[in-house]
Amino acid sequence: MATPQPNLDKKSTNELNLSVLQRFDPDVEDVLVTAGHVALYALNTECMQWARKNVEGSMFVVKRRSQPRFQFIVLNQRSTENLVQDILGEFQCEVSKPYLFYRNNGEVSGIWFFNETECDEVVALIQRIQGMFKTDTGPLVKPKLEMPHHAPLAAATAYPPAAPVSQPVPPPPSHGTPIDINVLLGRAPPTPSAP
């Protein structure tokens, strides 16, 4: 006979999550939003292909007592190394459900969300936080990712990240058909220049 799971309300669940996160980072003050299951992918800029990273688990957007004030944390179920990213400063993001694509410290990554509603909630919160901390030159969240010149994504083609095997996923694109990275990132493709 299966052991019954405890019935925790939302407040109890948040308190439990906060205590777990504070074991890893005592400066975590509050859990702002949670995504139950995500997986991380990284863009290899040399071959313009997505590669699944060894990071998968629950994601938390947190407020901290010290700098950096806002981060997201993925409590990794695949290894002891958790993913921690600051969401102010260099962080830029775009969404193409069920993926959140972001660039931070020059690296382009994608997060696959099992639940698209959680993807919407995370993106909305990140954009709201970044909007509150605008600089004189404008918001920290750019409408489109601006890639460095040494990583020209405008002409790249790549396959989208594959979702974790343990979770149901939307149907993949037709086999063998490359997808333009501009489509993945929600941009119009560049117009070809005359030879």
The sign of the dihedral angle between the CA atoms of 155, 41, 149, 48 is negative
Half-sphere exposure of 152 (CA within 13 A, CB side): 5
Tens of pLDDT, residue by residue over 28-48, are 999 999 999 999 999 988 888
Residue 61 contacts residue 70 (beta carbons within 8 Å): yes
Q: What is the DSSP letter of 68?
A: S
pTM: 0.67
pLDDT at 146 over 50: no
Give the number of C-alpha atoms closer than 13 A to the C-alpha of residue 126, restricted to the C-beta side.
29
Residue type (1 letter), 123: V
Give dist(CA 101, CA 114) in Å, integer: 15
Residues 73, 24: contact at Cβ < 8 Å? yes
Per-residue pLDDT at 47:
86
Model pLDDT, residue 82: 95
Mean of pLDDT values over 140-169: 39
Residues in the chain: 195
